[in-house]
Chains A and B, each alone.
Chain A
């Protein structure tokens, strides 16, 4: 509730262009050669001192990518991307690899501070409530600049580091799981990512361990003409638990920037992974110029019995979003959840949803999707729920609600259901509504301004999903949503 008030303050503080993360950090950076080639990949792999097998893995992905066609089934449209006109490696010059906090370039620390991301461990340690502590992996362009609380996590046996570091320190773990959930040839952008991924986070929770704090990664694209291809891998061993949050922002630039990430989650017996995203890449300006192309493959494998993976996403940014965080419910009794808020305004195009693939007996899943469209945006929910022959008693509940603000936007719901097992029970509910004039008038009569009224009604609409977010981020997410919708009424 205080979030509503804060939202308004926040909204007021913002000038014409509402995106407040649009600044550019002036820092000397090093870039690889432009273009997608074997040479680019060898350069990148060498930069990161990767093992030989990794370089080969990448080169194999590149060869496969060159045979593939760009998919066109999503309800999004954009000019063809020239992959040879992009840089695949950019790093702040001062960074050689993740360092301790006091070695990090102050300019970088200032950047994260400006973004409101807590990197200082001291400050956090001083906090009274230990549950508010969050360990952060900060990724700037192609590299991870720092990971906080590493030592403390290590004591609990938790590994939390950049994937580059993991490749050097824990190559066997990476080799065992990398590509085991999202195969190299899964789809066009995943294959591209497999060839050129630059950095990202690696998390390993050992058997029986409940990760002692929230883990989170903040991605920041700073460089121009640079694609960001991060790769995240999270492994939860038997009976372990982890909650992970990712956030992303980028400067305001006139040209479009490509972001093609892959996230793989593996949950073994009785393990639980909670993965939350607050995605706020630059959405483009009022005329629809610029903004991030966000083409992301996220998939979780509930590999063990009684395992659980839950995706929660708040999507407010990007010019184009193409992402379907999914669960493969392989384990008996496993559970997948997808909670999503996708906000589109201006000329944004969102095509997002989930896949719940039921393979194991008694597996269950739940999908709650809230799409909010305003301006001239298009917002599509695309989902697949399927039950394999052996998935007896598979259950799914899906609820897709769309809220339209204004006359020029669109909301679309494309649910696919496939069941090869007669005992599977799938339920689907969908609604489309508008903020009615009567609701607005009622709120105004009680003294709310138009902005406050929209914020309140929208917060009510997304409440079921906001409740799924870790407490510390729920308020932030509400703010973001309201900011994204600023100027959508009146």
Chain B
């Protein structure tokens, strides 16, 4: 589903490379974890997949279901099924969460040539998804992410993810800022979305998220390169020994 080949990238108009030859293949039905020290380029990779124009790809390619994803606009990628759960979700003042959800769902449907949702259909979907994630009606009426706690922001991200039903989910440090209970709720929400048609890339700094969302493959990203890949035990090893070994290898 996702093929990243020799991806090099830098901040637009700056010299230093942040990604220095990333290779990664994620098939439908798989969950891959990307771990790595702070500043290793994890968020950068997620932003490039989503199409943020602060970054410039200098080499390599990214294929999404065989298509060149780097040529697509961010909204086209979204409609094609690419979803990014942000490390720092953005506030949209004055726009109720509910309103945002509906706008986003219908925007994607229209882009795919589908009918817009009827109000009752939309409400039914939102209510179902919200109850699983412990999101209250009151929260849905509040402006998106404005004054939300860390946990509320992350739950709102996963709520959007469940409603938009993407094919490729990229989760950037979804565990940061969550207490144990919130972590459980959010992980359950994510696990519900696992399925044979869907691929996931779970970015995290800590192993504890992977106790809840058990990955098929774990990669270590360091200084802009994947320096090691393995099964879920690699995460446990990292937890014990830290990233020191890998930082050295990458240097």
A: which residues have CB within 8 A of B?
Answer: 1, 4-5, 436-439, 441-450, 452, 456-457, 459-464
Contact = CB atoms under 8 A, between A and B. Distances in A.
B78 A460 contact: no
A382 B111 CA distance: 43
Given A1-B102, A5-B116, A445-B50, A439 B92 contact: yes
A141 B101 CA distance: 45
Contacts of A464: 94
B150 interface: no
B92 A446 contact: no
B37 interface: no
Nearest to A453: B75
A446 B160 contact: yes
A444 B78 contact: yes
A447 B84 contact: no
Contacts of B95: 456-457, 459-460, 463
Contacts of A462: 94
- Most chain A C-beta atoms within 10 Å of own C-beta, residue among B53, B104, B116: B104
Contact of B93 (A444, A445, A460): A460
Interface string B90-108: 1111110001101111111
B29 interface: no
A459 B92 CA distance: 11
Contacts of A446: 78, 100, 104, 107-108, 160, 164
Nearest to A461: B94
A448 B90 contact: no
Contacts of B60: none
B176 to A, nearest CB: 17
Contacts of A437: 54
Given A444-B73, A446-B164, 14 more contacts: A1-B99, A1-B102, A4-B103, A441-B74, A444-B78, A445-B74, A448-B103, A449-B75, A456-B95, A456-B103, A457-B95, A461-B93, A461-B94, A462-B94
Given A1-B102, A445-B50, A438 B107 contact: no
Nearest to B88: A438
Contacts of A445: 50-51, 74-75, 77-78, 83-84, 86
Contacts of B100: 446, 456
Interface of B: 50-54, 73-75, 77-79, 83-84, 86, 89-95, 99-100, 102-108, 111, 116, 143, 160, 164
27 contacts: A1-B103, A4-B103, A5-B103, A439-B91, A441-B52, A441-B90, A442-B90, A442-B92, A443-B92, A444-B74, A445-B50, A445-B83, A446-B100, A446-B107, A446-B160, A446-B164, A447-B75, A447-B107, A447-B108, A447-B111, A449-B107, A450-B75, A452-B107, A456-B92, A457-B92, A459-B95, A463-B94
Nearest to B101: A446
A152 B77 CA distance: 57
Contacts, number: 84
Nearest to A460: B94
- Most chain B C-beta atoms within 10 Å of own C-beta, residue among A1, A438, A439, A463: A1
Contact of A439 (B90, B99, B102): B90
Contacts of B91: 439
B94 A444 contact: no
B143 to A, nearest CB: 7
A448 B94 contact: no
B93 A447 contact: no
Nearest to B52: A441
A447 B78 contact: yes
A111 B91 CA distance: 43
A477 to B, nearest CB: 15
Nearest to B73: A444
Contacts of A448: 75, 103-104, 107
Nearest to A450: B75
